[in-house]
């Protein structure tokens, strides 16, 4: 069978989500942000909620998330996205409101905002990208940087006595009464990406049912700052991050 | 005419918020303004107008809740006092940069640092000159009575939405805590979703097929784009100076000397003017109501008839710098102020004034 | 019944990260030696006959540049 006979509109089984814009992403080749953006776009499209969704982008590499998902966006000050989301959801209860935050934004400078938004049980979705490093500023230590991990500010590896311990913030969040769904996922292969998409979908559905805060951590790579190829970075993540940040649901009620 | 009811200035802020159709209040307790949120919680406006009231985990969160609410075209406000406002200044800069309307009430106490819970006017620089990072200014209204506290809430929202910028009510512990009779307006409805879409087509109301996505951001990495944004902000500030300067004059027509004072100090200075007149001194009072935009033109107009000006403040001398900028050396500009939360008596100010013209 | 697939890569938007290649169960995908307008190599069907249209490549593609087609034969 000729390829031309296969490549016909009626045979299309997968393509770019219509909720994604045509802008070329500024992310480095192989960056997980793009994959997670795509999964969110697909969920918004499949739920038919493009006109009801408001995204809140952080400070960090994904500050420009608004260039890629064709919805209304607010760009927050560093760490404050959950505060924006709180007011947005309370003032516009018919909307789906989600924050998209990296580990520096959510687990370092924005710790108070995320803990309290989750503890109040705001009916929002939190997408938490954990790649154990600061991306945009050039690879400095994040709160989630692993012990021994080399970064621009831990050039000899993170040491507990000097730099403290990596923060399992998702485990903390799972303890809070206000959260209804807390899960840790990844996107390094098709199976994991499909699971993450299901988790994101469940989180959005929870928010419509006013069940409380849904929190989806996605363990991701930052191959540029890890100084690995995209494929090697995925391997490093599986070998080093998953043992410390084990995947799976921590809470689902 | 509606009945006048006795209340604290802070209470007046809360009641005005409900009555003018405010959509949301987000705040954190701090003396001397905690009555604002306490009154709102007692009134439970979510049961009547649908107004959201939330005690946030910090001032930082409060101001960023305003950013979220304002992004949706909602009329949102917070209140705090000096140390809390310092924490909010990051957020106010973002609100100004993203061109978001909102209302921030600062019931000023003495500083710096934790300072004192007694009244002060030492936040003039912070509020009038920007406060956070970058080239921005907020509209600043200075109430001098509980009635002003009430009336300025609605006025501040109107100006904030006219210019898409944060508006500040710069009060102080005297005005916030004192009880006066206040005449209240009738309840106005909150804006409907349709009105929000019409009044604020830039707001995050959900991206529909008939329009492009609305993005609320203060970020512009392209220098040319960012310069344009800044020029647009500066043009707004210029327009404010042309169209929205507010001030009160008291016996300035024939004045040979002028006191300039705002907020609680303007009331004390009114007594000082009366004492001076009784003693045959032609003293007048200019009370700036908007501190930005400032009454530059009015001061400039008065300078030729004046022999001296004295700025009277509960600070070490902040507004006096703006007065001096206008006067530009043409006549002496003197200053009298008390610090640490001490409010001077009219006699004390009169004495200082007489000394200044000798 | 067998499945026959094919992919179309938006080569100008592809950054040649290779994640699709590493996720392709039939080793259909290769990364070009030539580069696009941005200077990136790009994904292509190096072994088109092997494609089953499983969509794994497009699912993991961070830049959403892969469209997948599939027929039953």
Instruction: Dump pLDDT digits (tens) for B190-246.
Output: 999 999 999 999 999 999 999 999 999 999 999 999 999 999 999 999 999 999 999
Tally of domains in chain C = 1
Residues 6+ apart with CB under 8 A from B227: none
Residue A129, pLDDT > 90, answer yes
CA–CA distance, A40 with A201 (Å, rounded to integer):
8
Res. A5: pLDDT tops 80: yes
Collect all residues of chain C within an 8 Å Cβ-Cβ radius of residue A31.
Answer: 62
C contact chains, 3+ CB pairs < 8 A = A
Looking at chain B, the whole-number percentage of residues with pLDDT higher than 70 is 100
How far A63 CA lies from chain B's nearest CA (Å)? Answer: 9
Which residues neighbour B243 within 8 Å (Cβ) at sequence distance 6 or greater? none
Mean pLDDT of A75-90: 98
C65 CB within 8 Å of a chain A CB: yes
What is the band of B1 on the pLDDT scale with cuts at 50, 70, 90? low
Neighbours of chain B (3+ CB pairs under 8 A): A
B147 — pLDDT class (breaks 50, 70, 90): very high
How far does B336 lie from chain A, in Å, by closest CA?
40
- Are residues A112 and B71, on separate chains, in Cβ contact within 8 Å? no
In this model, does residue A40 exceed pLDDT 90? Answer: yes
Separation of CA B201 from chain center: 26
Closest partner CB to B213 (pick from A56, A72, A77): A72
Identify the pLDDT of residue C73: 87
In A, minimum Cα distance to B193 occurs at A92
A10 in reach of chain C (CB within 8 A): no
Averaged over B16-43, what is the pLDDT? 98
How many beta-carbon pairs under 8 angstroms link A with C?
101
Mean pLDDT of chain B: 97
Q: Is A219 helix (H, G, I), strand (E, B) or coil?
A: strand
CATH classification of the domain holding C10: 3.30.70.20
Task: Give the chain C residue nearest A2 (alpha carbons).
Answer: C49
State mean pLDDT over A180-185.
98
Nearest CA in chain C to A3: C6
C-beta separation of B239 from B231 below 8 A: no
Of the residues A77, A79, A81, A97, the best mutation for testing chain B's interface (the one with the most B CB atoms within 10 Å of its CB) is A77
Could you tell me the end-to-end alpha-carbon distance of chain C, in angstroms, rounded to an integer?
Answer: 6
CA distances for C53 relative to A1, A196, C66, angstroms: 14, 21, 11
pLDDT at site A1 = 79
| pLDDT tens digit sequence for B91-124 | 999 999 999 999 999 999 999 999 999 999 999 9
Strand positions, DSSP E, B61-196: 76-80, 102-108, 139-141, 166-172, 179-183
- Report residue A70's pLDDT band, with 50, 70 and 90 as the boundaries: very high
Closest Cα in chain A, distance from residue C3 (Å): 11
* Cβ neighbourhood burial of B304 (10 Å; 0-12, 13-18, 19+): exposed
Which DSSP string do the residues of B33-85 spell out, in sequence order?
-THHHHHHHHH-GGGTT--EEEE-SSHHHHHHHHHHHHHTT--EEEEE-HHHH
Contact assignment for A32 to C6 by CB distance below 8 Å: no
Give all domains of chain A, ordered by start, each with its CATH number.
26-252 (3.40.50.970)
Does position B306 have pLDDT exceeding 80, yes or no?
yes
- Chain A CB contacts of C61 under 8 Å are 34-35, 38
B87 touches chain A (CB under 8 A): no
Structural domains of chain B, with CATH: 4-193 (3.40.50.970), 247-356 (3.40.50.920)
Q: Are B144 and B262 in contact (CB under 8 A)?
A: yes
A198 touching chain C per CB within 8 A: no
Going across the sheet that includes B247-250, the strands are B247-250, B283-288, B257-260, B308-313, B333-337
Q: Tens digit of pLDDT for each residue in A208-224?
A: 999 999 999 999 999 99
CB-CB under 8 Å, B205 with A112: no
Question: Going by beta carbons, is chain A in contact with chain C, meaning 3 or more pairs sit under 8 Å apart?
Answer: yes
Q: What chain A residue is nearest to C47 in terms of C-alpha separation?
A: A3
What number is the average pLDDT over the span B42-56? 98
- Cβ contact, residue pair A66, B215, below 8 Å: yes
pLDDT for the residue B3: 80
Residue pair B205/A72 in contact by the 8 Å Cβ criterion:
yes
> Inter-chain contact B60–A113, Cβ cutoff 8 Å?
yes
| Contact (CB<8Å) A12/C69 | yes
How far, in Å, CA of B37 to CA of B53, rounded?
Answer: 8
Is B208 in CB contact (< 8 Å) with chain A? yes
Name residues of chain C where pLDDT drops below 50: none
pLDDT band at residue B188 under the 50/70/90 scheme: very high
Confirm or reject contact between C58 and chain A (CB < 8 A): yes
**Chain A environment of C70 (Cβ under 8 Å):** 6, 11, 13
For C48, the domain range is 3-72
Please tell me if residue A194 touches chain C, with a CB cutoff of 8 Å. yes
pLDDT of residue B324: 98
Chain C CB contacts of A42 under 8 Å are none
Residues of A in contact with C23 (CB under 8 A): 189-190
Looking up tokens 């008939």 gives B210
pTM over 0.90: yes
Write the residue in C16, C22, C67 that is nearest to A12 by C-beta. C67
Q: Is the pLDDT of residue B351 over 60?
A: yes
Q: Which among B62, B71, B213 has the least Cβ separation from residue A70? A: B213
């Amino acid at each position: 069978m000729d390829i031309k006979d296969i490549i016909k509109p009626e045979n299309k089984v997968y393509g770019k989500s219509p909720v994604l814009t045509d802008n070329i992403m500024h992310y480095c080749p192989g960056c997980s942000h793009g994959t997670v953006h795509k999964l969110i776009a697909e969920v918004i499209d499949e739920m038919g909620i493009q006109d009801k969704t408001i995204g809140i982008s952080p400070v960090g590499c994904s500050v420009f998330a608004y260039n890629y998902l064709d919805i209304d966006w607010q760009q927050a000050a560093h760490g404050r996205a959950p505060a924006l989301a709180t007011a947005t959801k309370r003032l516009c209860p018919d909307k789906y409101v989600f924050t998209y935050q990296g580990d520096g934004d959510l687990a370092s400078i924005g710790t108070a905002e995320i803990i309290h938004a989750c503890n109040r049980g705001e009916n929002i979705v939190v997408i938490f990208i954990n790649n154990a490093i600061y991306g945009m500023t050039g690879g400095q230590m994040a709160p989630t940087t692993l012990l021994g991990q080399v970064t621009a500010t831990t050039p000899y590896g993170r040491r507990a006595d000097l730099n403290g311990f990596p923060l399992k913030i998702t485990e903390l969040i799972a303890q809070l009464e206000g959260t209804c769904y807390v899960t840790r996922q990844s996107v390094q292969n098709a199976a994991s990406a499909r699971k993450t998409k299901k988790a994101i979908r469940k989180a959005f559905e929870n928010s419509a049912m006013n069940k409380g805060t849904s929190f989806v951590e996605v363990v991701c790579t930052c191959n540029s700052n890890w100084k690995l190829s995209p494929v090697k970075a995925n391997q490093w993540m599986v070998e080093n991050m998953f043992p410390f940040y084990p995947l799976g649901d921590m809470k689902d009620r | 005419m509606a009945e006048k009811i006795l209340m604290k200035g802070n209470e007046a802020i809360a009641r005005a918020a409900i009555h003018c159709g405010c959509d949301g209040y987000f705040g954190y307790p701090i003396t001397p303004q905690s009555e604002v949120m306490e009154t709102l919680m007692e009134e439970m406006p979510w049961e009547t107008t649908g107004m959201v009231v939330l005690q946030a985990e910090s001032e930082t969160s409060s101001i960023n809740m305003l950013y979220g609410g304002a992004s949706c075209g909602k009329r949102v406000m917070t209140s705090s006092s000096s140390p809390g406002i310092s924490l909010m200044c990051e957020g106010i800069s973002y609100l100004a940069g993203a061109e978001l309307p909102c209302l921030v009430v600062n019931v000023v106490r003495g500083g710096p640092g934790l300072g004192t819970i007694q009244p002060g006017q030492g936040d003039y620089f912070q509020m009038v000159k920007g406060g956070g990072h970058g080239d921005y200014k907020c509209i600043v209204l200075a109430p001098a009575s509980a009635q002003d506290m009430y009336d300025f809430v609605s006025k501040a929202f109107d100006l904030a939405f006219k210019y898409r910028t944060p508006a500040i009510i710069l009060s102080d512990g005297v005005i916030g805590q004192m009880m006066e009779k206040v005449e209240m307006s009738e309840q106005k409805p909150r804006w409907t979703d349709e009105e929000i879409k019409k009044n604020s087509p830039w707001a995050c109301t959900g991206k529909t097929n008939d329009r492009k996505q609305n993005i609320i951001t203060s970020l512009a990495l392209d220098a040319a784009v960012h310069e344009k944004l800044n020029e647009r902000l500066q043009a707004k500030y210029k327009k404010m100076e042309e169209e929205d300067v507010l001030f009160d004059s008291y016996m300035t027509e024939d004045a040979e000397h002028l006191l300039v004072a705002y907020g609680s100090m303007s009331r004390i200075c009114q007594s000082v003017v009366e004492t001076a007149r009784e003693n045959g001194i032609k003293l007048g009072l200019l009370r700036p109501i908007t501190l930005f935009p400032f009454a530059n033109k009015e001061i400039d107009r008065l300078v030729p008839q004046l022999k001296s000006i004295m700025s009277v403040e509960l600070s070490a001398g902040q507004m006096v710098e703006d007065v001096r900028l206008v006067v530009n050396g043409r006549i002496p500009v003197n200053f009298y102020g008390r610090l640490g939360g001490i409010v001077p008596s009219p006699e004390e100010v009169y004495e200082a004034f007489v000394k200044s013209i000798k | 019944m067998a499945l026959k697939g094919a992919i179309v890569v938006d080569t100008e938007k592809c950054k040649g990260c290779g994640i699709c290649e590493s996720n392709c169960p039939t080793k259909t995908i290769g990364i070009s030696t030539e580069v696009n307008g941005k200077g990136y190599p790009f994904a292509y069907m190096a072994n088109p006959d092997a494609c089953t249209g499983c969509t794994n490549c497009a699912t993991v593609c961070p830049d959403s540049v892969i469209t997948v087609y599939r027929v039953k034969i």
